[in-house]
Structure 1
Amino acid sequence: MNENEQLALEIQGRIKQLEELSGTEIKTEMDDLKVVLLKNPAACQLLLPEDIGRMVSCIKKLMLGAKTLAEIKKPTSRKKPQIDLSADLSLEGF
């Protein structure tokens, strides 16, 4: 087994571990995995479509978590009381 195959196996193992993580753990691990992938393009060529699919599902999980968090922190809009600015400009009564 050459060095690239060994790296590919390690990357596959890290990808499988992503499915068990959540929240900030998964974000940190995805960032670390990105660095490893960028440093080892030859090992990336040995990844299987299933591995890529697992990474995509983890990214979707991250995005859904971020969207949910943004909705929770979304400020509620307070409506200001409306002031009646209409005036009676008719000439009746003069």
Structure 2
Amino acid sequence: MIKGPPGTGKSQTITNIIAAAAAQGRTVLFVAEKMAALDVVHRRLRDAGLSSLALELHSSKGEQTRATRGAKALARRIRPGSKRGSYADTAANR
């Protein structure tokens, strides 16, 4: 958990942690209370050319099916050749 006042580099630190973990083939779950924090980290990942490794999930009930499909597609990108529905296995084994 990373906590701190605004302007102390939390978003950059989180982005660096995610990038380093991705480089090692690891899976990361980043959760934030505020949407602004999610947006900043996603923007930084995009700027670093890593947006293909990120899946934005929000709490909109109407988007649950799309989010599930997106999570499965992301899991297949992380682990090519993975079988349909194997997202939980991918996340659990990393």
So what's the TM-score if we normalise by structure 1?
Answer: 0.38
Structure with the larger RCO, 1 or 2 (CA within 8 Å, 6+ apart): 1
Instruction: Name whichever structure is richer in helix by fraction.
Output: 1
